[in-house]
């Protein structure tokens, strides 16, 4: 089975193709977009080892010549140096303005290759083939591309929408379980922020999704892409509802920052802990019915995600330091923090005037 999610953003519309085994037929999707039978594939070493040959064969079957540019895996690859190296390799491969680039990897490769595409020869078009659950449900939707600066994550970048996204759920079979669970946190997020029925469905389907059931995975990814595409389309310039996508991310980012964006805590793990905290805090503020946070925690725990900061290996800074990190996060203003809180499962809202003292008291008791 194959499903298509249409995305319409600004002056561009494109399709996300979701199915099983699509990589082996990627040439069919890619070929119509090419002006000549030549492309460059940007990927990382892990994805290349597991899947590059399949993609190269699929392109060759349509007569497309491809140059593979294989980057080292990991967040450090989203750097000025690797961007420069990648742009030069794309030029060396003979990529011209009319050519298209294929971003073949997780969020790191999608962000880096998408940004390289945005600036190479003042902009070439690209096609995304996301290979992690996180990139299939999150980073491949919305058109944000970029790299990190020593001053912070994702500070250098551009909006650049792909021509098409090819999402093959079979690629997830080689993904480490921990990465799969981390991506799942973002799937659950879409239910928690705005779709109680979807969350309820996930409560039943999570074991099948984690086990690799095709129907369940396709449905979960489609619903997630639709949710993100709708929110982003409503708010392309990030003034309103898009902030809902930050559910769990204010707490989550503080924990990621405190652990130095290391393997101690993957992004989705921080989001998992952050979402539980957001629901606990909402309960504490009498915004949300008692027991809701426990239900959220039970579900995230069932897929192997951490649900409390005490599960992060090693020492954490004291609550006051975490609040300080949140204050420095761009969302803070004058003793007030902006949080995504919830009235219930599926009913998140943007709270722009959360008192820092309340947060500090909460963390002091919760941590």
Any idea which residues carry the catalytic annotation? 122, 144, 186, 228, 238, 242, 246, 249, 253, 267
Q: Is 142 in the site for ligand NAD (CB under 6 A)?
A: yes
Q: Which is nearer to ligand NAD, 74 or 335 (CB)?
A: 74
What are the distances in angstroms from CA 280 to CA 44, 353, 366?
38, 17, 9
Chain position carrying tokens 């951490």:
306
Residues facing 355 on adjacent strands: 336
Residues in the chain: 367
What is the x/- site pattern for ligand NAD, positions 218-247, by CB under 6 A? ------------------------------
From the CB of 238, what's the least distance to ligand NAD, in Å? 11
**For residue 99, what are the contacts with CB-CB under 8 A and spacing of at least 6?**
34, 35, 36, 38, 39, 40, 124
Q: Which of 360, 362, 340 is nearest to 351 (CA)?
A: 340
Say how far apart CA 53 and CA 104 lie, in whole Å: 12
Residues within window 27-66 making contact with ligand NAD, judged by CB under 6 A = 44, 46-47, 50
CB of 158 to ligand NAD, least distance (A): 11
CB-side neighbour CA atoms (13 Å) of 278: 35
Stretch that binds ligand NAD, among 5-13, 71-79, 210-218, 308-316 (CB under 6 A): 71-79
Among 27, 70, 83, 105, binds ligand NAD (CB under 6 A): 105
Q: What are phi and psi for residue 152, nearest 5 degrees?
A: 155, 170
* Nearest distance in Å: CB 94, ligand NAD: 26
C-alpha 162/C-alpha 170 separation (Å) is 21
Query: Minimum Å distance from CB 161 to ligand NAD?
Result: 11
How many amino acids of this chain bind ligand NAD (CB under 6 A)? Answer: 27
Strands 2-9 and 12-19: antiparallel
144 belongs to the binding site for ligand NAD (CB under 6 A): yes
Paired strand residues for 42: 69, 103
Q: How far is the CB of 183 from ligand NAD (least distance, A)?
A: 6
For residues 228 and 245, the answer to whether their CB atoms sit within 8 Å is yes
Q: Which of residues 149-208 bind ligand NAD (CB under 6 A)?
A: 154, 171, 174-175, 179
Looking at beta carbons only, is 7 or 34 nearer to ligand NAD? 7
Shortest distance in whole angstroms from residue 262 CB to ligand NAD: 13
> What is the pairing mode between strands 12-19 and 164-168?
parallel
Q: Does 263 bind ligand NAD (CB under 6 A)?
A: no
Query: Could you list the residues that contact ligand NAD (CB under 6 A)?
Result: 44, 46-47, 50, 73-75, 78, 105-109, 111, 131-132, 134-135, 138-139, 142, 144, 154, 171, 174-175, 179
């Amino acid at each position: 089975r194959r499903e298509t999610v249409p995305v319409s953003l600004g002056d561009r519309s494109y399709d996300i193709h979701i199915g099983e085994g699509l990589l082996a037929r990627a040439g069919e999707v890619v070929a119509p977009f090419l002006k000549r039978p030549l492309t460059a594939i940007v990927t990382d070493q892990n994805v290349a080892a597991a899947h590059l040959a399949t993609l190269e064969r699929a392109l060759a079957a349509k007569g497309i010549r491809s140059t593979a540019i294989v980057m080292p895996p990991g967040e450090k690859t989203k750097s000025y140096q690797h961007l420069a190296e990648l742009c030069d390799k794309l030029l060396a491969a003979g990529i011209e303005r009319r050519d298209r680039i294929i971003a073949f990897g997780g969020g790191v490769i999608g962000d880096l290759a998408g940004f390289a595409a945005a600036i190479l020869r003042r902009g070439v078009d690209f096609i995304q083939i996301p290979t992690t659950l996180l990139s299939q449900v999150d980073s491949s939707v919305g058109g944000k591309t970029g790299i990190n600066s020593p001053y912070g994550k994702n500070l250098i970048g551009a909006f650049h929408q792909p021509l098409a996204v090819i999402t093959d759920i079979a690629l997830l079979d080689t993904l480490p379980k921990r990465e799969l669970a981390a991506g799942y946190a973002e799937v659950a997020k879409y239910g928690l922020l705005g779709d109680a029925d979807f969350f309820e469905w996930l409560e039943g389907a999570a074991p099948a999704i984690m086990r690799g059931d095709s129907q369940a995975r396709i449905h979960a990814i489609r619903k997630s892409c639709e949710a993100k595409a709708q929110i982003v389309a409503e708010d392309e310039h990030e003034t309103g509802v898009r902030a809902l996508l930050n559910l769990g991310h204010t707490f989550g980012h503080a924990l990621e920052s405190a652990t130095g964006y290391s393997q101690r805590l993957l992004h989705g793990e921080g989001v998992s802990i952050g979402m539980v905290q957001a629901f606990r805090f909402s309960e504490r503020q009498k915004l949300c019915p008692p027991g809701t946070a426990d239900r959220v925690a039970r579900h995230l725990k069932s897929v192997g995600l951490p649900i409390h900061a005490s599960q992060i290996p090693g020492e954490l800074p004291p609550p006051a330091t975490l609040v300080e990190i949140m204050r420095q996060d761009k969302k803070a203003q004058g003793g007030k923090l902006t949080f995504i809180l919830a009235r219930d499962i599926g009913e998140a809202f943007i709270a722009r005037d959360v008192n820092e003292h309340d947060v500090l008291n909460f963390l002091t008791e919760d941590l």
